[in-house]
């Protein structure tokens, strides 16, 4: 028998009641805080059907006058929920700038960037994402468990719920046996996996990863790829930049190729590359053609 789906207003009332009860139980009840959190939940409900990432005519300029540099040039793309999107391009193409816009570090010069329907400059939009930088600079005097506990508390998690989440993540990333070892004793691959766990500690809907397999050996790359596939099966959306084109070809549903700040190819890896052509071969040809087009006649 099909269950009836509550109407939006019913959901809103339930959320408001739950929030009020939670603040009373915690001993720090505040009508103002409850109102703010209810507002946040209303925004999330209103954006449920919006894609995790939507860029429309996004441009970013650095400097001014004769020193102005166009880092992104009218970039438009859409990342669907539950998909893995690979963002590839040569050094200086604008990949990290795009990620910085999504994280709210860099404001757009033109166009829009939205997360789940909300402007990226709105902090509410960023509560639903997890981020792993290219080279995680972890607190090496902490243990893996302590690091996850620290970031979990920063995300407002406490008590048994946090400890259960930490235990589950350590199992997922294969670090349960090393959970109480200091991070200074972790290998690079282990530090990358604890970084992924840290990005997932608050159970975000969208993961943004900057070069998650960069500098890793084949075994460590396989482990990271397995985690990305695991989280995709759990309904998460993953957006990551990479230079490891073989990894992108294996795990991504959609690929965007960036060159000189512009999207020059966008689609499924199998649709982009002609038969008997690898994604790497196709990528090299597209970048070469774009550079030739930029040269004066």
Tokens of 196: 């992924």
Q: Is the pLDDT of residue 76 over 50?
A: yes
- What confidence tens digit (pLDDT) does each residue in 253-289 have? 999 999 999 999 999 998 998 888 889 999 999 999 9
- What confidence tens digit (pLDDT) does each residue in 142-183 have? 999 999 999 999 999 999 999 999 999 999 999 999 999 999
Please give the pLDDT value at position 294.
65
- What confidence tens digit (pLDDT) does each residue in 96-126 have? 999 999 999 999 999 999 999 999 988 887 8
- Confidence class for position 17, pLDDT limits 50, 70, 90: very low
- Confidence class for position 26, pLDDT limits 50, 70, 90: very low
CA 286 – CA 292 distance, rounded (Å):
10
Question: Dihedrals φ, ψ of 69, to 5°?
Answer: -125, 130
Residue 37: DSSP 8-state: H
The answer to whether 88 touches 256, Cβ cutoff 8 Å, is: yes
More confident residue, 171 or 66: 171
More confident residue, 279 or 7: 279
- Model pTM score: 0.79
More confident residue, 116 or 64: 116
CA 60 – CA 72 distance, rounded (Å):
5
- What confidence tens digit (pLDDT) does each residue in 188-199 have? 899 999 999 999
The continuous run of DSSP H or E covering 264 comes out as: strand 262-267
Please give the pLDDT value at position 49.
78
Please give the pLDDT value at position 295.
60
Tokens of 99: 């990620």
- What confidence tens digit (pLDDT) does each residue in 29-56 have? 333 344 444 444 444 444 457 999 999 9
Alpha-helical (H) ranges within the chain are: 8-26, 31-46, 95-102, 123-126, 144-154, 159-172, 188-200, 218-233, 245-251, 269-272, 279-294
């Amino acid at each position: 028998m099909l269950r009836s789906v509550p109407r939006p207003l019913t959901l809103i009332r339930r959320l408001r009641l739950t929030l009020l009860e939670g603040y009373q139980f915690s001993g720090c009840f505040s009508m103002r805080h409850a109102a703010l959190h209810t507002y946040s939940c209303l925004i999330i409900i209103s954006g449920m059907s919006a894609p995790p990432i939507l860029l429309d005519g996004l441009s970013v300029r650095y400097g001014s006058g004769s020193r102005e540099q166009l880092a992104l040039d009218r970039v438009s793309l859409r990342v669907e929920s539950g998909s893995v999107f690979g963002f590839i391009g040569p050094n200086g193409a604008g990949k990290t700038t795009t990620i910085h816009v999504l994280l709210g570090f860099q404001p757009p010069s033109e166009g829009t960037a939205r997360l789940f329907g909300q402007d990226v400059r709105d902090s509410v939009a960023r509560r639903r994402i997890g981020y792993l930088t290219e080279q995680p600079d972890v607190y090496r005097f902490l243990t893996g468990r302590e690091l996850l506990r620290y970031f979990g508390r920063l995300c407002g998690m406490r008590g048994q719920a946090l400890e259960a989440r930490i235990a589950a993540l350590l199992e997922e990333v294969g670090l349960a046996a090393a959970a109480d070892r200091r991070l200074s004793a972790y290998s690079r691959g282990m530090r990358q996996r604890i970084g992924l766990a840290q990005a997932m500690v608050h159970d975000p809907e969208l993961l943004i990863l900057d070069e998650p397999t960069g500098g890793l050996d084949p075994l460590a790359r396989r482990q990271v790829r397995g985690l990305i596939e695991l989280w995709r099966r759990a309904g998460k959306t993953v957006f990551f930049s990479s230079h490891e084109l073989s990894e992108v070809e294996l795990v991504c549903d959609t690929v965007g190729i960036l060159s000189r700040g512009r999207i020059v190819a966008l689609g499924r890896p199998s649709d982009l590359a002609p038969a008997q052509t690898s994604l790497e071969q196709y990528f090299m040809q597209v970048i070469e053609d774009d550079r030739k087009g930029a040269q004066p006649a």
